[in-house]
Every structure is written in C-alpha cells, then in structure tokens.
Structure 1
Amino acid sequence: MNFTNGKELLDLCNKHNKRIYEVMLAKEVELSGLSEEEIRGKMRESLEIMKSAVNSGLNEEVKSLSGLIGGEGKKIKKRRDTHKPVCGLVMSKAISSAMAVLEVNAAMGRIVAAPTAGSCGIIPGTLITMQEEFGLEDEDIINALITASAIGMIITKNATVAGAEGGCQAETGSAAGMAAGAVVELMGGTPEASLSAASMCIKNILGLVCDPIAGLVEVPCQTRNAMGAANALICAEIALSGVSSIIPFDEVVDTMYKVGRSIPFELRETALGGLADTPTGRKIQKQVLGE
C-alpha cells in the first residue's frame, strides 16, 4: 500500500475498492509494524487532546503569554448563543473552535500540531464541529484524522507545511486541505472528491504570506485558522456537490511549493514584512519583546 502522491493514492483506492483512510492505515501498519488497533489508539489519544483544547479555549480563561490573544473563541460562542450567526451555525462553531485551539497553543497549552502548531486549530475546529453537528462517533473522526494524515503526508513529501519555507499558504492551506478531504470522506464522498476538496483549499490561498507580529504564532495566525476551517467546509461542500478541481491535486501541491519558494524571505515567518512590519506591528513587538 505504498504511495507518494495523490495519483498513486487514488490508484490504490480504486484498485482495492478502499477509502483513503483504509489505504493509509494499511500503509502505516507496514511502515510502523504496529497493529491497526495500536495505530487507531494513538490517533484516539490525539483526538482527545484536540477535544480538550477546543473545550479549554471555549470555556476557560485562556490568555497567551504575550497577552495579544485570548478569549476570542469564547466571544464568538457567546454571540452564537444570543444571535443567529451571520455565517451559519456549523461555520460559526468551526471558526470559534479553531480560534480557541490556537489560543490554547499561544498560552502554552497542550495541542496537536496538525500539521503544525501555527495551523493547529483548523483540523480539530472542523472535525469536532462535524462530529457534534452530525452525531458522529469517535471512530468516525479517527477515520477522518487518518484520511487527513494521508493528505498531509503527500504534501509534506512533495512540498512543505512550514511557514518558514512556504508561507502561510503552506501551513493553513495544508491544514485546510487535510480537513476538507477528511470531511468529504466523512460525508461519504469518493477519494477523488476528497482530493478535489483538498486541491481547492490550497488553490484558494495560494501565495498567502506568513507575517506573525513579533514573531509569535498569535496574530494574524488566529483568524487565519478560522479562515482555514471555513475554507475546509466550503471546499468540502463544493466537492460533495460533484464539482471537481480542474487542476489535479499533485499539480496544486507542486504549485504551492513553487509559489512558496518564490515568496520573499521577509514574508516567510521572519516577522520582517507584512503585518509584522506595520507601525503597530513594530510597536507591539517592542512592547512584547523589548526590541
């Protein structure tokens, strides 16, 4: 069950009449020597950490060490409890949960880097919302996480998920693509539809720079995690409706990498450009870091 790109993954799915998570699980058994249940057990642990981070961020007093963020996820949840969300209930839940997890990360709490700490809110925000809204079991979400890991593995092998190498498109774009593909499979979509959703997520934010204020994974990272969760749900819905990505997944991944390498280094997590280099951004950096 070896694969290194999207085409090979789809070929295996079609040849063996399996879903993405089944092919990825078989691959992981071969690579790790662990049993399927042991692998699922490790993923179950990750899911529990994700759930705990969402819960902490939405229901406890969480503040980042710098003081820049903390409580934003709760504010969205509070508004949802008293007003009809402008973006709909599912979207509102997903974005508030994604932001809450990023807050927990900034407060040095326990999170799952999925695939990075800077994009840690997107997958839990999306998948845990899906579980709550559609009454799904933990085992369903574990399958979805395995699906997401297959997509993330392909991106990591052929491009990058690091903001320092490929900009925020590589971090939040990859996480959104992983989440979107997982949602499609959760909802009964085909492997082809899953990769189409992932492709569209990445295409939507090609060229997005990484410009954290004061070099901290807080601003604008938090709202970009919210955007990533929204992007994942949007692209999943499009793909589930039968709309395919015109550009194949593998070509999209290759393009993301090329675009990322073309982004000036000032806009790749160095805090030397973009929002970090605004007067306010520099003022905050001096206040937080003393420089």
Structure 2
Amino acid sequence: MLEYHSIQSLVDAAQEKGCTISELVLADQSVQTETPKDELFRKMQDNLHVMQEAVQAGVDKDLKSTSGLTGGDAYKMQQYAQGGGLCGSFFTQALTRAIAVSEYNAAMGKIVAAPTAGSCGILPGTILSLMEDRDMPEETAVMALFTAGAFGMVIADRASIAGAQGGCQAECGSAAAMAAAAMVEMSGGTPEMCAHACAIAIKNQLGLVCDPIAGLVEVPCIKRNAGGVACAFAAAEMALAGIKSVIPVDEVIDAMREVGDSMPCALKETAQGGLATTPTGIRLKEEIFGA
C-alpha cells in the first residue's frame, strides 16, 4: 500500500506498474479503504459535479458575499472572455471559473475544498476548462482529481496546506501544484512530467503570504485563485514541453515547509500584516466589523 510521503515514490510505483498516477492511486485507495473502485470513482465524480455547479452559481452578476466585499467579478470576467481577451477565450474562461468558485465560496455556497476553501477555484479553473473547452471526457477529469488528491496528500504530509501554518503558498501554491500535475496527466503526460509540473508550480509561488483583509477569505484570496490558475497552466505547459525542475519535487515541497516555518505570524492568516494592514485594508475592516 502507498504511504503518500513522497511524490517520487508515487512516480516510481506508477512507472513500475506501467500506469498513470491516478490509476495507481485509485487501486491503492480501493485496497486501503476496502471500497470498490467504481464506488470511489463515483464519489470523486460527485466532487467534480459540485465544482461544475459552483461555477454555474458563481457567475451570477448579483452574487455578493456576506461582508459585501466581493461578488460579481466572475460575471465581468465571463463577459470579457467572450471577446477572447489578451490570451484567448480558453484562458479567460479558465479565470472565470476560478473566480466564480471562489466568489461562490465567499457567498457561503457549496464548494470542494481543493485542498482548502481559500484555494477552491484553482482545480475547477483548470480541470473543468480542459474537460469542457477542450472536449476531454469526464472520466479523464475525474481520474485527474485522484492524481491531484494524491499530490495534495504528499504536500500536506511533508509541508502544509494551511495558510495559518505555511502562508498562501501552502493553499494557492499547493492547489496550483495539484492542478498542474492533474492537467499534465489529462494531456497525456508521464508521471515524471506530473512531478515536474508540481515542482515548478510550487517554486513559482514559493513564499506567497496569507494576508486576508479583515481576516476574511475574500481579498486578496479570490484574485489569487485566478493567479494560481495562471501558474498551474504555465507549470503544466513547461512540463509537457519536456522542461524539468532542477530541484526534485520532494525537495521543493520541503523547501516550502521551511519557508512557511520562517514566515512571521503576521503573514500567516492573522490579518496582522501585508495587504491586511494597508490603510485601505484597515478601513475596510472597520467598515465591516466596526472600529
């Protein structure tokens, strides 16, 4: 049985068996949980459907969070995406999905924490875009979530997926890494390419702080989900091109843990530093909660 302590061990096991990471993980989880593979697949399929529903609900132009800080930006992005934007409609629609799910979360909607609520838009923004806009089978997207989940388990074990422990690198950074690996597999990349994509994505968000305005998972969190999508696409594209991370993926994850440990408390979800303590950040907090 797999222990999920190392991504390289997952890659080695998949290569030895001549299968994808997702096939390896699904078979392993079936054994570990004593659950038939088709039942586990259906449960993961349910997660995918929740992501789709969150996107649909999140693009409502009248959607607002309880605080009133956020809402309606996914609708704006969706309208803009129809014109193609600077990078084409595929990418702008991916940003739309990420913002939609994140705004829906801020409005207390049902989402999939992937791996956290604060980073819930990144996997839908990437995986659903490949499935829906590139006409990939739903089965491929569901299986990719097993790969993303396995990589997330390793990151959680070796480092952290919590902003309060590791900063936003542990949330949006981890989500971008999981998404990058999943997209590589969906696109026919090898397990080794998935590992390189994961490493590149984490490196590109290494040191990202968690500094929510008024302590709410809204500003700058929602826009960081869109940024995480961009990071995931860049990492996946490089890995699929054959570009490798010079630093092995597990060492990159260990470095993320060390960076998180060295971050001051003020930059780890306490709203005591960064954007949270700018004049505007303080003013917004006072308007929401009072002086």
Aligned residues: 290
1:14 lines up with 2:30 in the alignment: no
The answer for the alignment partner of 1:64 in structure 2 is 65
Quote how far apart the aligned CAs of 1:2 are.
1.1
Q: Which whole-Å CA distance do the structure 1 matches of 2:290 and 2:195 have between them?
A: 45
The answer for the alignment partner of 2:89 in structure 1 is 89
Quote how far apart the aligned CAs of 1:175 are.
0.2
In the alignment, residue 36 of structure 1 is paired with which amino acid? Answer: K
Quote how far apart the aligned CAs of 1:232 are.
0.6
The answer for the alignment partner of 2:122 in structure 1 is 122
In the alignment, residue 134 of structure 1 is paired with which amino acid? Answer: R
Q: Which whole-Å CA distance do the structure 1 matches of 2:9 and 2:230 have between them?
A: 28
Quote how far apart the aligned CAs of 1:195 are.
0.8
The answer for the alignment partner of 1:182 in structure 2 is 182
Give identity over the alignment, percent.
49
Quote how far apart the aligned CAs of 1:84 are.
2.9
The answer for the alignment partner of 1:139 in structure 2 is 139
The answer for the alignment partner of 1:98 in structure 2 is 98
In the alignment, residue 223 of structure 1 is paired with which amino acid? Answer: K
The 4+ residue runs of structure 1 with deviation greater than 3 A are none
Q: Helix, strand or coil: the match of 2:100?
A: helix
1:261 lines up with 2:267 in the alignment: no
CA contact (8 A) 2:122 2:226 kept: yes
Quote how far apart the aligned CAs of 1:60 are.
5.4
Quote how far apart the aligned CAs of 1:88 are.
2.1
Quote how far apart the aligned CAs of 1:87 are.
2.3
Matches within 5 A, 1:1-291: 1-3=1-3, 4-59=5-60, 61-81=62-82, 83-291=83-291
Deviation track 1:100-119 (CA, whole Å, cap 9, x = no partner) reads 10000000000000000000
Quote how far apart the aligned CAs of 1:59 are.
3.8
Q: Which whole-Å CA distance do the structure 1 matches of 2:115 and 2:238 have between them?
A: 23
Quote how far apart the aligned CAs of 1:243 are.
0.5
Deviation track 1:181-202 (CA, whole Å, cap 9, x = no partner) reads 0000000000000010010000
Quote how far apart the aligned CAs of 1:91 are.
1.4
Provide the alpha-carbon RMSD of the alignment: 1.0
Q: Which whole-Å CA distance do the structure 2 matches of 1:103 and 1:10 have between them?
A: 35
Q: Which whole-Å CA distance do the structure 2 matches of 1:87 and 1:164 have between them?
A: 34
In the alignment, residue 159 of structure 2 is paired with which amino acid? Answer: A
Q: Helix, strand or coil: the match of 1:67?
A: coil
Q: Helix, strand or coil: the match of 1:69?
A: coil
Quote how far apart the aligned CAs of 1:10 are.
1.3
CA contact (8 A) 2:166 2:261 kept: yes
Deviation track 1:224-260 (CA, whole Å, cap 9, x = no partner) reads 0000011111111110011011111100000000001
Q: Which whole-Å CA distance do the structure 1 matches of 2:88 and 2:32 have between them?
A: 42
TM-score by length of 1: 0.98
In the alignment, residue 72 of structure 1 is paired with which amino acid? Answer: D
CA contact (8 A) 2:8 2:195 kept: no
Deviation track 1:164-186 (CA, whole Å, cap 9, x = no partner) reads 00000010000000000000000
TM-score by length of 2: 0.98
Gaps of 5+ in 2: none
Deviation track 1:43-74 (CA, whole Å, cap 9, x = no partner) reads 01111110000111124531111111101011
